[in-house]
Amino acid sequence: MHYTSDFFAKSPESMLVALARAGQRGAFAELVTRRQTWIRNLMRRCSGDATLADDLSQQVFTQAWRSIRQLHDADRLGPWLKRIAINMWLQHKRTNDPLRGADENNDADSAHNDTTSVAMDLDNALATLSPDQRLCIVLSYHERMTHGEIAEFTSLPLGTIKSHIRRGTLKLQEQLSAYVEPLKEVE
Amino acid sequence: MNISHDPNLQALFAQAEQDFQGDSFADDVMRQVDRERRKTLLVWSAVSIFILACVALLATPAFTAARLATELLPVSLVEIETEWLRLLLSPVNSVAAVIALSVLGIRKFFRRIFR
């Protein structure tokens, strides 16, 4: 059966997932269009490199297309995509040595052209954190995940996550003092 | 205020989010999907051709080896004239029995050494 792009644009997400599961490429392309902002921003905060983030986002959606039949509950598309994205980032971190990462970051300066100054400053501040600290901070502030959820996604101990977020928050507050009011009270 | 969760930072993260519109990214993803599909198809075709070539090349030698094995394996090691004794000893009086016993012996030997 042939569907128009207008039909996909007007369809609810659950229907798009069902159609994509049945092999409808147009439905999946519409899902990509709808979810691209979220995934691309998540990858940008994780990597700090717009080009790398877009490459990884593309891989996330390619992986999603390959395994869309495993997504039985259409309402779980968001968490399912998030898991793929985080696994993709963790895999990228494992397979890329720090020196290569440094080269990528140098190249990334030009890739920041389409990035706002707030995003640039935030990414620069995030770059001062350790990779694990950064991931925990991004998942906590960008994804608004609880410590328990972060532990489940990253397989890091809960205590380590709390410590990463606490230290990372302090560091970001220091780095981004121009944007963020310093904390008055410390618990 | 909870030090592990600063609402100002939370707002900054939200402010830093960019809105990506348009279909160009989705088009890139679908092109990548097509590339991967073609690559998978190519790999499977190459593997199939390789297997077919192997089968074609090795079919005759494999058949000859199988024929020789079926002829050689039942050959008696010692000629026994008495019919009932020959039948009784036939499970151990053959090339196949020697090979089987050797394999079992080597297996037992290795298990004793490495366990």
Using one digit for the tens of pLDDT, what is the confidence trace for A40-53? 999 999 998 889 99
What is the residue-wise DSSP string for A6-32?
A: HHHHHS-HHHHHHHHHTT-HHHHHHHH
Q: Residue A3 CB: number of other CB atoms within 10 A?
A: 13
Cβ burial of A187 (10 Å; 0-12, 13-18, 19+) is exposed
Residue B89 CA to residue A155 CA, distance in Å, equals 63
CB contact under 8 A, B1 and A179: no
DSSP one-letter code for A139 = I
Q: Which residue of B has its CA nearest to A64?
A: B33
Phi-psi category of residue B29: left, alpha or beta, with phi > 0 → left and psi -120 to 50 → alpha: alpha
Q: Which residues of A79-115 are buried (b: 16+ CB within 10 A; e: fewer)?
A: ebbbebbbebbbebbeeeeeeebeebbeebeebbeeb
What residues of A are in contact with residue B8 (Cβ under 8 Å)? 179-181
On the question of pLDDT at A122 being above 70, the answer is: yes
A143 touches chain B (CB under 8 A): no
Residue carrying structure tokens 């590339």 = B35
Query: So what's the pLDDT on residue A104?
Result: 47
* B17-69 pLDDT per residue, tens: 888 888 889 999 999 999 999 999 999 999 999 999 999 999 999 999 999 98
Checking phi first, is residue B69 left (phi over 0); if not, alpha (psi -120 to 50) or beta?
alpha
Chain B contact for A7 (CB, 8 A cutoff): no
Interface of B with A in 23-52 (CB under 8 A): 23, 25-30, 32-33, 36
Q: What is the pLDDT of residue A107?
A: 45
Contact A127, A46 (CB under 8 A): no
* A111 has a pLDDT exceeding 70: no
Q: How far apart are CA A154 and CA A172, in angstroms?
A: 21
Q: Which helix (H) or strand (E) holds A48?
A: none
- Output the CA–CA distances (angstroms, integers) from residue A117 to A66, A172, B29, B36, B86, in the order listed: 36, 16, 28, 36, 95
The yes-or-no verdict on residue B92 having pLDDT over 80 is yes
What is the mean pLDDT of the segment spanning A135-155? 92
DSSP secondary structure string, B22-67?
SSHHHHHHHHHHHHHHHHHHHHHHHHHHHHHHHHHHHHHHHHHHHH
pLDDT, one tens digit per residue, over B11-20 is 889 988 888 8
Give the pLDDT score at B29.
Answer: 93
Residue B1 has pLDDT above 60, yes or no: no
Neighboring chain A residues of B29 at a CB cutoff of 8 Å: 29, 32, 58, 61-62, 65
Degrees, nearest 5: CA angle A87-A28-A119: 55
Q: Is the pLDDT of residue A101 over 70?
A: no
